[in-house]
Amino acid sequence: MEDSASTRSFIRAILEGVREGALAGCTVQEATSGFDAMRLLPRGPYDLVLTDINMPDINGLEVIQFVRKSPHHKDTPLVIISTQTSERDIARALALGATAYLRKPFVPEELVATLERVLAPKGGAAPHG
Amino acid sequence: MAERRDDAPDKAREEFFSEASELVDGFGRHLLALEESVENGHGPDPETLNDIFRGVHTLKGLSGLFGAATLSGLSHELENLLDDLRLGRIPLSTAVLDLLFDAVELYGRILSALKGEEAEPREEVLTLLASLAAVSNERSGNVAFIAEYELDPETLGVLTEYEEHRLRSNLQAGLALYRLKAKFPLATIDSALEELKLRVRPVGEIITYLPTGDGGDLDAIDLEILVASRSAAAELRQAVDSDAVSVDEVKKRDLSQARTPPAPRVGERTDDSAMDLPDGRETPSPPPVEDDEPAHASMHPAPHATEAVVMPAAAGGRDISLRSVSQTVRVDIRKLDRLMNALGELSLVRGALLRYAEKLRSEPGTRRLGMDLLGVHRAFERQLAQMQSGILEVRMVPLGQVFDKLARIVRQVSREQNKSVHFVVTGGETEIDKLIVEELSDPLLHMIRNAIDHGIEPIPERAAAGKPDTGTVALNAYQQGNHVVIEVEDDGRGIDPHAVLHKAVTMGLVSMEEAKSFSLEEAVSLVFMQGFSTRDTATAMSGRGIGMDIVKTRIAKLGGLVDIVSEVQIGTKITLTLPVTLAIVGVLTFVVEATVYCMPLSSMEEAVVFDSALVREVDGREVMTHRGVTLPVVRLARLFSEPPAPQRATKQFLIVARVGTRRLGMVVDRLIEQQDVVIKALGRTLAHVRGFAGATDLGDQRVALILDVPSLIEECLTAAEGRRANDASLAFRFGERS
């Protein structure tokens, strides 16, 4: 989830363009806010959750806590995207159970590599991010 | 960045763990010493506090480098607290000591977790972060700090830094805190929330929205909303105007029930958040910890013993800590050098491989084979490059390691001299070869000391000059291409060039005639001359210069350059320009008088065809106008050979070299190619030869000398050219022969 439309479509374009590896053929669902995510999350299995930290209303840390408390998603890999600004927020996110983080700005390869890495231990299942 | 931790070479990881463990161990030891001094009724030893601070600061830099975010985040908060402690902004109470001991214990566990030996102690880290923030907030002298309110660590744990800041500001401004609770149907939550926001905004600020519940309800969501407001609860309720939303004030805790240090009791509390706390604030009160045992267990014993107590299985815990000691090995930089040399040999193999491949490809019968071999060569080249950058990365360390040490010196020296000095450091994260860092600390220390000793004036003198009482010494570092630039700048009295000249003449370092030919800038640079000292006349001539020649020699040995700019009454700036690494350089190979030489690419601007018609003579030096700027020119053939080679008719080339702001054009006979080479030292017998940084093996059994551009520029451009000419030609003759 990510409140910036351009970032969302950037990420979508990258992920849908992956042709090989764990991310090939993945389906991307966008959430525009924390609430939006909370609407989506309980409804389906997701192989991976990608979230920003600084968002209006519900922030990314709250999303992580929500995701981790939910029985569906307590083990779902959760990657946060954050700007350089707050080491403390990143530390908290990891403490709350985020799997990995990616700093903005990032290049497509970094995104793909990070996501592939967090998906790796789970084996082959096709992800729906 | 995220992958960095995993991709970092194993060696680097080991070094990271070993250094981190050392720092944590040191932290633990220092804490014990602190505790003892506090228990004995002495105040905390500032030196020890500062050591802890620096240790944590280094740990922060280190963990940032290795992408160990939890470690880095914890260090960040700790650093703030320690900074407050060492600057006396908050007192060192037993409660704070407890927190610090907790931190040591957690550091150990996080490090184990990073090694994959145990799960990361998430909750404990969150609790500690919240407590640290609570103590730090208290420093600002404001009564209202977050931990005083009935907010559980779980709630505090999900606030972003900004939200926490808003919460704190509001509480400090005396606003009351309310908790709004409601269940929102997911389908309409956006509009419902918009409406709620509109209603709340006129009377308060929404800090955050906290979803509660476990997401089991698919249609609705329980939400807690934290609101800061000046209004009373009743007014807020009225503004919200909805039965579905409950409004409660978040009250201050009853401190007598919390796990507080033996602080003076503050008496009966009201719920008025703006109430002033007389003495209670002296002692921070961490949020109550449900489970007291581990926290207490970590209070007194040494860190390692603590680990054993806190680990789930005591025996297992002990195993882990023993193992962690034996698994971490610090790598001797010389071993890296040997690896680097081996890598150099491999580069030679690569060069040979390429030549054979090209040869095979150029012949019709083996064309196919040649192409295949080229493919193999490319793969080899890629891996080699990766290995090279891997080893180089291990050698790189942030300059902050040295800078931290300097901060302590500044405090010490300024206190000794009763001067008020503000020390500003930027660019501590700039990375440089570890060997360089180790060589840098003495020269930097010298420069900083000089800046305070001789640069910064005593307070009355500053006041008389219309300057602020507190002088500033700034230390800035940044990377510029393949160089790292370090500046030491002060706003002190500056160096008087006339006084320097006078001194140099009376010391017999320069003649009267020479002295007259110096520009003011050149005169200031005389402080770097060997034997120049202003010790006895420091005050009279407002100078510095004690041992500045040593600084210059040390920096030159590292392939660096020292520049000085000073203005009387305004201040002095000394700039060091250093190579990023000592091990490998990209060079341009060229020929002078049938001998091959290398010029580091990092110190050259461009190479062009040389047009001797453009050269003219000024003050006995050859110069030419190049790209609109006057460029001094030196014919390497003349420098290197004796007697000078006859003027050549064939085409020659001009290499424009630059170090810092100084440029020099060098005329050579022929350019060959660019390549990466491993620098090898000239060996002890040739170590004194100036003008060459080392030698390298070019891959076809040929050895070539690598020009030491900074010293060449120095030699050729130095003002006292005539005086040094003998030295220089001697050096170059030597170089030519070897």
- DSSP codes joined into one string, B632-655: EEEEHHHHHSSSPPPPP-S-EEEE
B7 & B133 share domain = yes
Q: How far apart are CA A49 and CA A64, in angstroms?
A: 9
Distance from CA of B107 to the nearest CA of A (A): 13
Lowest mean pLDDT among B14-23, B288-297, B667-676: B288-297
Pick the residue from chain A with its C-alpha nearest to B194.
Answer: A57
In a domain, B275, yes or no: no
Helix (H, G, I), strand (E, B), or coil: what is residue A125? coil
- Per-residue pLDDT at B574: 92
Tokens linked to B606: 């461009």
User: B69 — contact with chain A (CB < 8 Å)?
Assistant: yes
In a domain, B259, yes or no: no
B121 & B164 share domain = no
Chain B residues with CB under 8 Å of A45 CB are: none
Between the alpha carbon of residue A61 and those of residues A58, A115, B141, B186, the distances in Å are: 8, 19, 29, 20
Q: What does the radius of gyration of chain B's CA atoms come to, in whole angstroms?
A: 33
Give residue-wise pLDDT tens across range B122-134. 778 888 888 887 7
Burial grade of B48 (CB within 10 A; 0-12, 13-18, 19 or more): middle
Question: Which of B1, B137, B154, B164 would best serve as a mutation to test chain A binding (most A beta carbons within 10 A)?
Answer: B1
B728 & B635 share domain = yes
Question: Which of A61, A86, A88 would best serve as a mutation to test chain B binding (most B beta carbons within 10 A)?
Answer: A88
**Cβ <8 Å between A91 and B129:** yes
Cβ contacts below 8 Å, chain A against chain B, sum to 132
More confident residue, B633 or B454: B633
B416 & B540 share domain = yes
Q: What's the CATH code of the domain at B711?
A: 2.40.50.180
In a domain, B15, yes or no: yes
**Cβ <8 Å between A91 and B157:** no
Q: How many domains does chain B have?
A: 5
- Per-residue pLDDT at B645: 55
Q: What's the CATH code of the domain at B540?
A: 3.30.565.10
B203 & B245 share domain = yes
Q: How far apart are CA B434 and CA B395, in angstroms?
A: 5
Chain A residues with CB under 8 Å of B213 CB are: 69
ipTM: 0.74
- Per-residue pLDDT at B654: 93
Domain end: B220, B251, B282, which one? Answer: B251
Can you give the residue range of the structural domain that contains B206? 150-251
Chain B residues with CB under 8 Å of A37 CB are: none
Domain end: B272, B302, B329, which one? Answer: B329
B341 & B303 share domain = no
Distance from CA of A127 to the nearest CA of B (A): 20
In a domain, B174, yes or no: yes
Pick the residue from chain B with its C-alpha nearest to A117.
Answer: B3
Residue B491: band (very low, low, confident or very high) from pLDDT cuts 50, 70, 90: very high
Mean of the per-residue pLDDT values of chain B:
75
In a domain, B258, yes or no: no
Question: Which of A62, A103, A116 would best serve as a mutation to test chain B binding (most B beta carbons within 10 A)?
Answer: A62
Average pLDDT over residues B511-535: 76
More confident residue, B602 or B597: B597
Tokens linked to A63: 């999303």
Distance from CA of B54 to the nearest CA of A (A): 19
B134 & B12 share domain = yes
Distance from CA of A87 to the nearest CA of B (A): 6
Out of B119-123, B148-152, B375-379, the most confident range is: B375-379
Domain end: B379, B396, B413, which one? Answer: B396
**Cβ <8 Å between A69 and B122:** no
B556 & B592 share domain = no
Average pLDDT over residues B616-621: 83
**Running DSSP on this structure, what letter comes out for residue A57?**
S
B392 & B403 share domain = no
Residue B293: band (very low, low, confident or very high) from pLDDT cuts 50, 70, 90: very low
Give residue-wise pLDDT tens across range A74-105. 788 889 887 655 667 777 788 788 888 887 77
B631 & B722 share domain = yes
Q: Check residue B527 and give left, alpha or beta (phi > 0: left; psi -120 to 50: alpha).
A: alpha
B530 & B605 share domain = no
DSSP characters over B543-558: ---TTHHHHHHHHHHT
In a domain, B265, yes or no: no
Structural domains for chain A: 5-120 (3.40.50.2300)
Give residue-wise pLDDT tens across range B296-355. 333 333 333 333 333 333 333 333 333 333 344 567 777 877 887 787 778 778 878 888
pLDDT at B395 over 60: yes
- Percentage of residues of chain B with pLDDT beyond 90: 6
**Cβ <8 Å between B160 and A60:** yes
- Per-residue pLDDT at B300: 38
Phi and psi at residue B188, to the nearest 5°: -115, 15
Q: How far apart are CA B175 and CA B273, in angstroms?
A: 7
Pick the residue from chain B with its C-alpha nearest to A70.
Answer: B214
B171 & B194 share domain = yes
Chain B residues with CB under 8 Å of A51 CB are: none
Chain B residues with CB under 8 Å of A66 CB are: 211, 215
In a domain, B448, yes or no: yes
**Nearest to residue B549, comparing CAs of B573, B524, B536, B531?**
B531
Helix (H, G, I), strand (E, B), or coil: what is residue B478? strand
In a domain, B276, yes or no: no
Q: How far apart are CA B424 and CA B472, in angstroms?
A: 7
Distance from CA of B215 to the nearest CA of A (A): 5
CA angle, corner B67, sides to B158 and B58, nearest 5? 100
Residue A40: band (very low, low, confident or very high) from pLDDT cuts 50, 70, 90: confident
Q: How far apart are CA B151 and CA B221, in angstroms?
A: 20
Q: In which element (H, E) is residue B565 found?
A: strand B561-567
Chain A residues with CB under 8 Å of B57 CB are: none
pLDDT at B372 over 70: yes
- Per-residue pLDDT at B643: 60
**Cβ <8 Å between A41 and B154:** no
